[in-house]
Chain A
Amino acid sequence: ELKVEQNPLFLSMQEGKNYTIYCNYSTTSDRLYWYRQDPGKSLESLFVLLSNGAVKQEGRLMASLDTKARLSTLHITAAVHDLSATYFCAVKETSGSRLTFGEGTQLTVNP
């Protein structure tokens, strides 16, 4: 059974600082997603990572994938308050289409 672990689960940051969220998974995958969720809202797709070494950037967020280590990172650069949300990674196994989600990282950016 595929297991997906995120850490940290809670992250409180100061504006302007950098930090990284980690996502480890237990079996072979052919794609990994990062989502953002605001309280009580739906999931907003941030990145889709398809291959080893893939790196994608959007604004202050950058995601990367190391399939050999079964690890993805979401790096936050110079955080701003608007980035406060819960971030999920989700992994799709090589066979099938279901997504297995991590526990989520609740990010709070303080002024």
Chain B
Amino acid sequence: DSGVTQTPKHLITATGQRVTLRCSPRSGDLSVYWYQQSLDQGLQFLIQYYNGEERAKGNILERFSAQQFPDLHSELNLSSLELGDSALYFCASSVGGAGYEQYFGPGTRLTVT
């Protein structure tokens, strides 16, 4: 158990809908990262927050957005969902902003029907 928690574990929704994935980092960690794992694209970095501020952006679609709250938990919002958004979404956390090991949560499996 890495200490990173994600909810929900599974999510099934229809095309066009909007969902929110939640991540609580390990105690004391200031950075949160979001990754998407799909059969087509593999494991891809989406976005990083450090202490409430966006730090780095990867291959994140405009339909997706994220934020990190003052208590350091983070939410990933996915809207206008398409079938291709079906994937496993991982959150990871680290103590600092760069150069620190990232610890991965259990993931949220999103299925878009």
Contact = CB atoms under 8 A, between A and B. Distances in A.
B45 A30 contact: no
A97 B2 contact: no
B42 A104 contact: yes
Interface stretch (B64-72, B75-83, B101-109): B101-109
Given A96-B98, A99-B45, A100-B45, A45 B103 contact: yes
Given A42-B106, A98-B56, A99-B45, A48 B33 contact: no
Contacts of B56: 96-98
Contacts of A45: 101, 103-104
Given A42-B2, A97-B56, A100-B45, A48 B101 contact: yes
B84 to A, nearest CB: 18
Contacts of A41: 106-107
Interface in B40-90: 42-45, 48, 55-56, 58, 88, 90
